[in-house]
Amino acid sequence: MAEGLRPHHHQEFEYHTIQYFDKKRHVIVKKIQYMCMICGRVRHEKYDCYVPPPKSKTKALESNKRKYQSLLPYFLFLYPKTENNIATHG
């Protein structure tokens, strides 16, 4: 009859990982489960991953608008609006 495991330091590895978005706190949460290689003990940890908001792209859009504004009439002259491409030219 076995007497049980001897006392030991847990040797853990990542057993299972789940990542989801918490709508209440507006952060990405990682749940990680660690399992001991010797006794099979499972330990849980939770991490909040902060994702910074995206940078505004208005500067690039405005500079491109100014850059290609003079070419717009030329393109419309080459490709006049027809029934086939009304959706592409607005």
7 phi and psi angles, rounded to 5 deg? -60, 140
* CA-wise closest residue to 31 among 41, 21, 42, 17: 17
The pLDDT value given to residue 64: 80
Q: Which regions in the chain score pLDDT beneath 70?
A: 1-2, 57, 72, 74-90
- For residue 6, give the 3-state DSSP assignment: coil
Strand-strand pairing, 27-36 and 42-49 = antiparallel
Instruction: Check residue 83 and give its pLDDT.
Output: 54
pTM of the model: 0.51
Concatenating the DSSP letter of every residue in 34-83 gives: EEETTT--EEEEEEEE--PPPPP-HHHHHHHHHHHTTTHHHHHHHS---S
- Domain map of the chain by residue range? 12-49, 58-89
- Rg of the Cα atoms in the chain: 29
Q: What pLDDT score was predicted for residue 9?
A: 93
